[in-house]
Amino acid sequence: MKNGVGCVDTRYFTFAESPDELRLETGRKLGPITLAYETYGSLNRSRSNAILIEHALSGDAHAAGVHQGDEKPGWWDNMIGPGKAFDTDQYFVVCSNAIGGCKGSTGPSSINPGTGKPYASQFPFITIGDMVNAQKRLLDHLGIQKLLCVTGGSMGGMKTLQWVASDPQRVRSAIPIATTMKHSPFQIAFNEVGRQAIMADPSWQKGNYYEGAKPERGLAVARMIGHITYMSDRSMEAKFSRRLKNGAYSYSFAADFEVEGYLQYRGESFVKRFDANSYLYFTKAMDYFDVSGGKLIAGKEISEVKFLVLSFKSDWLYPSYQSRSIVRELRKKKAEVDCFQIKSTYGHDAFLLEVEAQTRLIRNFLERVAENRSS
Amino acid sequence: MKNGVGCVDTRYFTFAESPDELRLETGRKLGPITLAYETYGSLNRSRSNAILIEHALSGDAHAAGVHQGDEKPGWWDNMIGPGKAFDTDQYFVVCSNAIGGCKGSTGPSSINPGTGKPYASQFPFITIGDMVNAQKRLLDHLGIQKLLCVTGGSMGGMKTLQWVASDPQRVRSAIPIATTMKHSPFQIAFNEVGRQAIMADPSWQKGNYYEGAKPERGLAVARMIGHITYMSDRSMEAKFSRRLKNGAYSYSFAADFEVEGYLQYRGESFVKRFDANSYLYFTKAMDYFDVSGGKLIAGKEISEVKFLVLSFKSDWLYPSYQSRSIVRELRKKKAEVDCFQIKSTYGHDAFLLEVEAQTRLIRNFLERVAENRSS
């Protein structure tokens, strides 16, 4: 058994607005901004071993280890730690909650210093680019000029690509996983019904619900939709088949099948830990994201960033053809790209579950990148 | 241009309860029962040219032609008419709205004669078997002892298979399209989130909403989810790509992309024509349906019913492997089965859109069945 990173704390970095650097892409301003973040391992003397982990829609800064008094490990604990894919004996691993979120970084549920109340619907729209721009300030604070690697799956993969698009000089390598340069209408459609489910909840109140009941029913439905898209026909068959919760049909609208009970449970538990407005802001940021058409590596530049692009065979939400598009785009700019479609039946969730295959590929890739670094 | 069946009327057939024949599969009773139905073409002298069309979840008795004062043709008008797949010059085509529905057949929005008010939550659970049992009374009424063919897509395909399972002596041939012997957990999951969206709407009131506001927001969300599952990644890309409604991002939660506007429109227009409780009862009946494990052709019987089983390549909601399972099951009983996977990018909607390929296959099949009939 590999050991984990052990007990960890979430830390908070707050910086005041600086108009030149932190104006949002919409032109609006936001500040002060707090970023929740965690680090694992140690930054080396040359500050050249830092890896930035980017979380997905419902993720947070707590990527590995456990918090005091809590048994649940971070969301990518199986990938981050001594001897793991992101080996904390070798690398300094950083993960931060994106702005717009609800896990310690400034988002719609944070207090607006101008009013003393939560921002709610006054929170400005943020883009994937804004999330990355805020993170740059955190890296400055941590004394990291250049990342050895930036990586993440799903929305985390978008932030990974955005780093390359925004500031390629600051990145040695990137591992976008199960992601895309831009959402297809199919992906936008699933996000949109999730949003509609939230906004259909009368408790949503156009986002101004923090002093009353929360739009929990709507958010639960959105999460249930999400969960289906993260799995696959085959993984659901393997996990649930048509097994009944209570042995016989109820002939009522209660959950008869185990899969129904599972989805309801996942919906209900999600609303306890996630803010509906953050769900809206994040999904909108994902839908707006588009680094296709040359924007991933701008102009005539030749990319010096090295890439490992990963996708999963059964992932129908972020299908492999989208990863192949990323690869084509990168190769046009003569970038060094490794690309793998990993066999898996887990669907989009595979980036959280296919530990062995990802570990092998990522470890080899990082070793090569790290060797090049010193040469 | 092929002509259609012209102006048609929906008719209504009402029969009183008859405990022996019309007890529901749950053991409860329902009556009197009205069935809305339409017919196209003429029944021949030997009453041997009748084809029964089974509609899908949101379909109704109006399968072909137009109603007086209305320009919208029936839902399968491109397949039913003179010279079409179901050629009304040769065949007598019948389509009836299923019980549990809201288009003229007895369902939760119908008046309960016991109370003078809509059944609402007092409406008994109905199964696909009950829908077929009610239809048998309609065929008796029309003087049809044996159907030349029964056919339908999606839930209509389930009713088609149920006819074979319940009363194979009454069916010469069957064309189940884009359907399954039983829902997978993946299919149940999509139905369940649709139901949760409806039941999350405070106006739903446990089904007792007919005297107040209707759960329109919830039903619209359910329909939006449905619409995504009826299309495909490719058909959405072809239809919408990332085109914007108003040329620029709104940085609001309004619909930015055409696909969002389309889904909202489809959701909003659906609630004007469909009852939320019928949506719940129908989807539950679909989830309960299961004629696998030998139930499709019971016992040691050898099936004399001829089959044409159709599926579509891009249909990820009712994937072709489910049609292949039907074929395997039928061949175990030595049934004569033709089976085709039709190339299409339309997804599940293909059964409504791939007219040419379906027409060719169905016309040939029906000709062979009809020839056999007279020999």
Q: What is the mean pLDDT of residues B13-26?
A: 76
User: Across the interface, do B236 and A189 touch by the CB < 8 Å criterion?
Assistant: yes
* pLDDT number for residue A372: 76
Q: How many residues does chain A have?
A: 375
Positions in chain A whose pLDDT score sits under 70? 1-2, 17-21, 373-375
Per-residue buried b or exposed e for A31-43, using 16+ beta carbons within 10 Å of the residue's own CB: bebbbbbbbbbeb
Instruction: Among A186, A259, A319, select the one facing B185 at the smallest CB separation.
Output: A259
Chain A residue with CA closest to B28: the answer is A251
Considering only residues 171 to 230 of chain A, which have any Cβ-Cβ distance to chain B shorter than 8 Å? 182-186, 188-190, 192-193, 195-197, 199-202, 217-218, 220-221, 224-225, 227-228
3-state secondary structure of A324: helix
Say if residue B24's pLDDT is above 70. yes
Q: How confident is the model at residue B373 (pLDDT cuts 50, 70, 90)?
A: low
**What angle do the packed helices A216-230 and A258-273 form, to 10 degrees?**
120
* pLDDT number for residue A261: 98
pLDDT, one tens digit per residue, over B177-228 is: 999 999 999 999 999 999 999 999 999 999 999 999 999 999 999 999 999 9
* pLDDT number for residue A19: 53
pLDDT, one tens digit per residue, over A171-199 is: 999 999 999 999 999 999 999 999 999 99
Q: What's the one-letter identity of residue A330?
A: L
Quote ipTM for the complex: 0.96
How would you classify the pairing of strands B92-96 and B33-40? antiparallel
Q: What's the one-letter identity of residue B200?
A: A
A328 at the B interface (CB within 8 A)? no
CB-based contact B224:A193 (threshold 8 Å)? yes
**Of B239, B117, B66, B71, the residue nearest A184 (C-alpha):** B239
Which alpha helices (H) appear in B208-295, and where do they start and end? Answer: 216-230, 233-239, 258-273, 276-288
* pLDDT number for residue B18: 61
The verdict on whether omega for the bond into residue B32 sits within 30 degrees of 0, i.e. cis, is yes
* pLDDT number for residue B1: 41
Q: How confident is the model at residue B37 (pLDDT cuts 50, 70, 90)?
A: very high
What is the rounded distance in angstroms from the CA atom of residue B240 to the CA atom of residue B263? 11
pLDDT, one tens digit per residue, over B250-259 is: 999 999 999 9
Say if residue B272's pLDDT is above 50. yes
CB-based contact A270:A58 (threshold 8 Å)? yes
Give every CB contact of residue B140 below 8 A, 6+ residues apart in sequence.
none
- Greater confidence (B59 vs B113) lies with B59
User: Across the interface, do A200 and B220 touch by the CB < 8 Å criterion?
Assistant: yes
Structure tokens at B369: 């069945």
Active site residue B315: yes
Which alpha helices (H) appear in A201-306, and where do they start and end? Answer: 216-230, 233-239, 258-273, 276-288
pLDDT, one tens digit per residue, over A261-271 is: 999 999 999 99
* Residue B171 DSSP code: B
CB-based contact A332:A135 (threshold 8 Å)? no
pLDDT, one tens digit per residue, over A348-368 is: 999 999 999 999 999 999 999
CA angle A14-A61-A312, nearest 5°?
Answer: 140
* pLDDT number for residue B20: 46
Chain B residue with CA closest to A285: the answer is B251
Residue A345: CB atoms within 10 A of its CB come to 18
pLDDT, one tens digit per residue, over B147-177 is: 999 999 999 999 999 999 999 999 999 999 9
Average pLDDT over chain A, rounded to an integer = 95
Say if residue B19's pLDDT is above 60. no
* pLDDT number for residue B375: 43
Give every CB contact of residue A299 below 8 A, 6+ residues apart in sequence.
none
What is the rounded distance in angstroms from the CA atom of residue B207 to the CA atom of residue B198? 10
pLDDT, one tens digit per residue, over B315-340 is: 999 999 999 999 999 999 899 999 99
What is the rounded distance in angstroms from the CA atom of residue A342 to the CA atom of residue A352? 13
Chain B residue with CA closest to A194: the answer is B221
Active site residue B348: yes
What is the rounded distance in angstroms from the CA atom of residue B360 to the CA atom of residue B340? 12
CA distance A324 to chain B (A): 16
Catalytic residue among B55, B62, B183, B348: B348
Give every CB contact of residue B113 below 8 A, 6+ residues apart in sequence.
B32
Q: What is the mean pLDDT of residues B332-359?
A: 97
Is the Cα torsion angle A97, A264, A258, B348 positive or negative in sign? negative
CB-based contact B26:B127 (threshold 8 Å)? yes
**Of B218, B229, B159, the residue nearest B190 (C-alpha):** B229
Instruction: Among A190, A233, A253, select the one facing B228 at the smallest CB separation.
Output: A190
* pLDDT number for residue B312: 98
CB-based contact B316:B347 (threshold 8 Å)? yes
* Domains defined along chain B, listed by start: 7-183+290-374 (3.40.50.1820), 187-285 (1.10.1740.110)
Q: How many CB pairs lie under 8 A apart between chains A and B?
A: 149
Average pLDDT over chain B, rounded to an integer = 95
Instruction: Among A183, A224, A288, select the one facing B196 at the smallest CB separation.
Output: A224
Chain A residue with CA closest to B319: the answer is A233
Q: What is the mean pLDDT of residues B50-55?
A: 98
* pLDDT number for residue A152: 98
Instruction: Among B197, B239, B253, select the one facing A197 at the smallest CB separation.
Output: B197
* pLDDT number for residue A31: 87
Helices then strands, each counted (H, E), chain B: 11, 14
